[in-house]
Amino acid sequence: MTQPPVDWTVRRSAVDQRPSPSQGRGVESRAAILRTAARLFSEQGFTGTSLQGVAEELGMTKGVVYHHFTNKEAIAVAVVEEHYARWPAVLKEVQALRLPPLETCRELLDRVAVAFHTDVVVQAGARLQIERTSVTARLPVPYVGWVELLTSLLREARDAGQLRAEVVPEAAANAVVAGFFGVQHVSESLHGRSDLLERWRIMADLLFRSFGK
């Protein structure tokens, strides 16, 4: 059974979001602004990044940036939205492998770990969520999409007889989300995510071996 589409619906912020351009140079400019802002947010944080700084990095005027985004908060919301927008395609790729549910969980998060290791938009989204109280706009609610999806997958694993009898799918899903979040945060804080994949492998082995029969 394929999982219901995860509700990664973004809770639209209070920030006025300009409509995304539909074609041509506008699309490229908006994408370039997001990539550059993501790099600066990831390196310097939300308060350490200015819209002026994003424009200067791109060799653009502030006016061009304002054409796409009403303010720095709107850029931050768009970056976090792009962070979450990565996951449905990863889920679809893994589902196409038609693995058993527990292996689908593991494979999915192994690929998400690679994205946290290499994708600056994913990295920026994670940092902005940690700094969310400094972002004066309503960011998407963190973690809940993953808890929902992993609970669904682990219920399938239970129903397929893959889980030990005492493993409660929702509790296990929350443990996986907390474990993944913690591993990527510790790796980023101590080693700039250089050892993220190894740290995740160790955590995932412990978690998934404790779930399985």
- Residues near ligand LUB (CB under 6 A) are 126, 129, 142-143, 146, 177, 180-181, 184
Cβ nearer to ligand LUB, comparing 177 with 196: 177
DSSP string for residues in 130-188 = HTGGGSSS-PPPSSHHHHHHHHHHHHHHHHTT-B-TT--HHHHHHHHHHHHHHHHHHHH
Q: Least CB distance from residue 71 to ligand LUB, whole Å? A: 22
For residue 164, the minimal CB distance to ligand LUB (Å) is: 23
> Is-contact 90 5, C-beta < 8 A?
no
Q: Which is nearer to ligand LUB, 55 or 180 (CB)?
A: 180
Q: Which two tokens stand for residue 109?
A: 């998060």
Helix, strand, or coil (residue 61): coil
For residue 106, the Cα-to-chain-centroid distance in whole angstroms is 16
Nearer to ligand LUB, 46 or 146 (CB): 146
Minimum gap (Å) between residue 16 Cβ and ligand LUB: 24
Cβ proximity to ligand LUB: between 57 and 131 the closer is 131
Spatial separation of the C-alpha atoms in residues 126 and 103, rounded to whole Å: 25
Query: In the bound complex, what is the minimum distance in angstroms from residue 19's beta carbon to ligand LUB?
Result: 26
